[in-house]
Amino acid sequence: EVERPFLWKFRSPAGTEQYLLGTIHVPDDRVLKLHERIDAALDRADSLFVEVAPADQPRQLAAITMADGRKGAD
């Protein structure tokens, strides 16, 4: 059980709350299951920026769905 995920919270100079999430890219359920703090931050997000390998962009962007139903490619 992960006690503290690699999730950093900070404020921009304009006062906007922002998060930076560190991930490990391995196919292991201990890594793939997001911590409740990460789920909560994603639920509050107005936008999401991700690092995606260029060859995988179309497939991965189509799989991203925001809480309000917007898709990553929208």
> Does position 67 have pLDDT exceeding 70, yes or no?
no
- The SS3 assignment for 71 reads strand
At 71 the pLDDT is 63
Average pLDDT, the chain: 76
> Does position 38 have pLDDT exceeding 80, yes or no?
yes
Q: What single-letter DSSP state applies at residue 67? A: T
Note the pTM of the prediction, 2 decimals: 0.55
At 45 the pLDDT is 84
Residue showing tokens 């920026």:
49
At 1 the pLDDT is 65
